Structure 1
Amino acid sequence: MNRPKALDLFACEGGATVGYQRAGYDVYAVDMDHSRLKRNPAEHKLVGDALKVLDDLYVMGRVFFDDGSSLELTDIDLIHMSPPCQAFTRGNAGRETSWPKLIEPCREKAAMLDLPYVIENVKDAGPEMVDPVGLCGCMFGLSTIDTDGVRIHLQRLRLFETNWNLQPPRPCDHSTHEWVAGAYGGARRDKYEAKYVRKGGYVPREKAVVKRLLGIEHDVTWNGAFECIPPAYAEWVGLNARVQLIKEAA
């Protein structure tokens, strides 16, 4: 039986890729940054422009990858897109910056392909998104032990826009968690709370702790950890999409 195929655009170092693999997909990953894409565990990779890939699928019906493989439009079961979030991060949201805002172009191009799609971004990108669903570490029980033996729980909200009825596994609730942490690069550099206070913006000092907190096992850089989707989030989205496919087939 053929495995479903997911096209992971803006794939970076592979947090979402791993999640979709866990959900049973063959993942085809695309990113413009070769140094980051090489850490991505997808079998098929393409160093290239995600929006051009969507255009090529619409015009030619296929995309060729760097290993010589190709992906036909008719074989794709899910398109995942994580366009750059920097224009929507705290301090930039609502302001004009040099960072591109690609959520709307992604939606328009993906909609033309008439396939199930996902657009993922940070909380402050919400006004640019259509009925997004929030996923957080508490919904998946993501936690780990910090360097001093204290258990910390992942508080990392990400928004997911889909063109099917995605539902979260349960409400976001940290009321029973004494200590929470995230993984945010900018906060770690200049905020006392991010370095020492185990509340929302706290970032563990060691990358190994951050990886365990995010549920990441493969090799990533610090920036890769700061920017990635925890695999559990993408796994949940991928499994929901597969249920949707089964319902449509029935």
Structure 2
Amino acid sequence: MRLKITTWNINSVRLRLPLVLRFLDEHAPDVLCLQETKCPDDKFPSSDLRKAGYEHIHFVGQKGYHGVAVLSRLPLDTPRVMSFCGKADARHMSVRLAAGAGAAAGITIHNFYVPAGGDVPDPALNEKFAHKLQFLAEMRAWGGAERPTAAPAILVGDLNVAPLQHDVWSHKQLLGVVSHTPVETEALETLRGEAGWADAARVLVPEPEKIYTWWSYRAPDWVKANKGRRLDHVWLSPDLMGTCRAVDVLRDARGWDRPSDHAPVTATLEL
């Protein structure tokens, strides 16, 4: 069985619903995990997405901020939402592929939206950066306590950290920029390693090859500048890493009409 799972920070699901529907029509993943939906639960466009063939939908949102959702052509069960940092922010949802999902049944999917962290990489001066570091610390504690990789599991999302040297357009120039500072990259790699997650994209495409999933809105010509970062990730439990055949970034979606600044990232597994 082939399983395709996509992660995409859509930056407003209602504003960019036509892009989501286009992606589903043209690329047809089995599961699509969205972040930054910016949509309260009563406004989520479930009807349009079900018409596109995605009958199984779980989401948690809030007005104007954050929000995560999981859309699936395969049956899902056991939805769960975790809160971090004492906040009710909609930044996590997990589901399990249910009976009827064939060889994929029993796989748990975690969908995360890690705080961006603002612009100043100093927790003493920037509450948003302090929040981000606390969130990563609590993710580390969760991974150590619950050991989510002990059973088949996938973690995806906009983790807002480009952890490796070749995950950014200039390692030296971005060492002092939020998303690539040493305190963030070390925190992310530590929590990933301690919990036992495999970074699927980098297992299949090792450094020094560059991989980007995000290009800033601030760039007047993002294609020409190509100053990207790898902020969107697919992590696999060890028992699933051997099934992963590809991790693809749909860079072209960054150039669609009124796009998100993130591109969809799709992992293909042969189960």
Higher helix share: 1
Q: TM-score range by the shorter chain?
A: 0.3 to 0.5
Query: Which TM-score applies when normalising by structure 2?
Result: 0.40
Higher strand share: 2
Query: Which TM-score applies when normalising by structure 1?
Result: 0.43
